[in-house]
Amino acid sequence: MELNGKRVTLGVTGGIAAYKAAELVRLLVRQGAAVRVAMSEAATRFVTPTTFQALSGNPVAVDPWDAGVANGMAHIQLAREADVLLIAPASADFLAKAANGVADNLLTTLTLARGCPLLVAPAMNRQMWHNPATQRNIATLAGDAVGILGPASGELACGESGEGRMLEPEEIVEELIAHFQPKPLQGRKVLVTAGPTFEAIDPVRGLSNLSSGKMGFAVARAAREAGAEVTLVCGPVALPTPRGVTRIDVTSALEMQAQVMLRAVTQDVFVGVAAVSDYRPRSVSEQKIKKDGSPPPVIELVENPDILAEVAALPRPPLCVGFAAETRNLAEYAETKRRAKKIPLLAGNLIQDGFGGDANRLTLFDDNGQRALEPAPKLTLARQLMARAAALLENPHAPY
């Protein structure tokens, strides 16, 4: 329940995407948020206020002059009670009015009267979205520090396909969770590696490991939540890309090395979470190796590059964060690895505590000593790790 105790006022404008707002309310309540819904009159033609009242457990505001509201000022009450005002869907009409300070209905008046951040999730026909007037309005809102969530590309209600589709409710919830996270990495660039690498033996076989990539993807999401511009270089995994993160897919250690070294010098933080294969075959068979009664093939191995050490050895390296997954002697091996590679921060764990799972147990090692984190979901641990990295960026000797 990552939104536990947060007060969300959800504004729903008229459009077919209003049906998604019902699921959005359900998900927000499941995350622990207290949700109040305000609707434009046009929105009630798509979904009834009764639906939102049942899902949120609160009365739904439609009329700005509702006599049931104290002193008849629903826009003031809803604005003062919220930690965030979220408009989803946000129609082209609403965006135009919000950008120009028009206050002619409950939602637009609420927008002007708010004392909290405003997030909007646009939804409209692709031509309406790309119209220069809409783009001017979006630019104005962004310049006023309004958070723009989407839109996505895909099939639209009009039968066309393109940009203008409202984000899915799960994506909006993820954005809202990110909104409430601290921003110690605001304006920073973070490069993350994740997952295994695959070193080919022949066209169908290779050397790899059981890394799921979940920890690396959690770190990428946590860094983005903390305000960073994040690039994720990942080996072969089937995980959804965290919202707002640039993803680069690779297969082998050499491919990962090339993508990392191409970008490392421009980064503020490098987090090497990937389980890079230590070795690769010296040669790769062009054809599938057959089991034909001959003696088993002899596969000669050569050492792969140490990407983390290579980044740390740059003349002006980013803050390097390493990972050490061990089966025993964690403190000894992790600290030895950190000092040998000359990296400021290392997160260590025992494989039996979280390899491949959704939770983990991490111990952080840096020049100030070590700190064992409580067992937790990987995203929770990733947020703590990024907070520590941000602290070391500001002060290499920052105490825990």
**Residue linked to tokens 């033996």:** 201
Question: What's the token pair of residue 9?
Answer: 């006022």
Strand-pair partners of 321: 271, 345
Element (H, E) at 110: helix 106-113
Backbone dihedral angles phi then psi of residue 250, each to the nearest 5 degrees: -135, 170
Q: Is 158 a catalytic residue?
A: yes
The answer to whether 363 and 348 have CB atoms below 8 angstroms apart is: yes
Q: What is the DSSP letter of 240?
A: P
Helix (H) or strand (E) holding 322: strand 319-326
Q: Choosing from 116, 158, 234, 320, which is the catalytic residue?
A: 158
Q: How far, in Å, CA of 63 to CA of 80, rounded? A: 17
For residue 216, give both structure tokens: 């690396």
Q: Are 123 and 90 in contact (CB under 8 A)?
A: yes
Q: Which amino acid is at 346?
A: L
Characterize 350-379 residue by residue with b for buried, 16 or more Cβ atoms within 10 angstroms of its Cβ, and e for exposed.
beeebbeeeebbbbbbbeeebeebeebebb
Which amino acids are annotated catalytic?
Answer: 158
